[in-house]
Amino acid sequence: MSDVTRVYLITGFLGSGKTTLLNRIIEKFPRDQKLTLLVNEFGEIGVDGTLVEGDDIDMMEISKGSIFCVCVKTDFIKGLYELSTTVKPDVLLIESTGVANPSDLKRDLQLPIFNGRFDFREQFCLVDAGHFMDAYEVYASLEKQIASSSVFIINKTDTVTPGKIEETKKIIERFHPEPLYFETTYANIPVERFFELDGKKGTHVISTDDPPSNTPVLSNNELDQFLDDLLDSPDLEITPPDMLMSVGYRWDGNDINEVKEIASALPSSVVRAKGFVEDAGGMNIFNYVMGDWTIEKTDLPRDRIKHENVVVFIGPPDSMAGIETASETGSWSSLGVFQPYSEE
């Protein structure tokens, strides 16, 4: 077991292909190394964690908002503390929610309670070639994601013209004069280039005067006190994410056309919807990104699907009424609207 955990962050706007990249990395990850995943979902009903493929992989899921937002920052740091003291993986892959501002991550990894455990290596930014330009004009989180990333994966290039890709690159190059690009479909990049796993590549983000490895483990009360002091610190910088909300709906129908009808009736302001819906032919994955949607059969084992016949819709507050209206086209019942963060 290594004394250091190498950390990789996968970021990108909603629906850009982050989970697909995560699965590509898992597929090629050496079995003699210990891998842990931290999947951060927007909203209280998680779907992405179900889509992660691979056996015998430790996975931690954090919902209800961005791990870089004060509303769940304590959960995130507690999770990291458990990883640093108990799990101690060789590699930690973090998939952040699509509206996260990831600029705080490197600072969080340097907190003294982690005792020099974490070595930040790379930040991948997934870019949805078909929807990036529209989203960039509205959501400030995209600018933060681009500014803090080091590798850019322009994904879904089969859906756009070369001119559209060049427009996207021009925006990225405002922040990075010579960025590292990959133009892909299905997030297909040479992952071996970044995951040599020889313990030599990367820059250690912790001071070279690392505390001794036998530093006493904090009690729950001591950890809570540390977090209270951290959140009360005048030096704490937390940028609230874009104003988005999520709403969950349960589908009680049996005609898949009802799912297609709600997809076609959604207001244009809805940026993301996803979920598992079942018809007579079996289980389907419903995937919606800014007006484009698919419904595809899935052979996922039923015991892997935590929320059957539930779809989560994400959009700004003024889209909630439009989603409710669209739900009247089928056998849908609301599970409640979730505001997954606080600006306090």
Identify whether the C-beta of residue 19 lies closer than 8 Å to the C-beta of residue 49. no
**With a cut of 70, which residues of the chain have pLDDT below it?**
1-2, 41-57, 62-72, 98-101, 103, 196-215, 234-242, 336-344
Tokens describing residue 282: 């079996």
Q: Is the entire prediction scored with pTM above 0.75?
A: yes
**Strand ordering across the sheet containing 180-183:** 58-62, 35-40, 91-95, 5-12, 118-128, 151-155, 180-183
In CATH, what is the architecture of 245-338?
Answer: 2-Layer Sandwich (3.30)
Cα 109 to Cα 211: distance, rounded to the nearest angstrom? 14
Name the 3-class secondary structure at 248.
Answer: strand
Q: Which fold has domain 5-232?
A: Rossmann fold (3.40.50)
Cα 148 to Cα 68: distance, rounded to the nearest angstrom? 13
Tokens describing residue 224: 């809570």
Check residue 182 and give its pLDDT. Answer: 96
Cα 288 to Cα 15: distance, rounded to the nearest angstrom? 8
The ranges assigned to domains in the chain are 5-232, 245-338
Check residue 204 and give its pLDDT. Answer: 35
Identify whether the C-beta of residue 270 lies closer than 8 Å to the C-beta of residue 314. yes
pLDDT digits (tens, 9 = 90+) for 24-77: 988 888 888 888 988 776 555 555 555 566 566 677 776 554 444 445 677 888
End-to-end CA distance of the chain: 39
Check residue 240 and give its pLDDT. Answer: 52
Residue 128: phi and psi, rounded to 5, are -80, 105
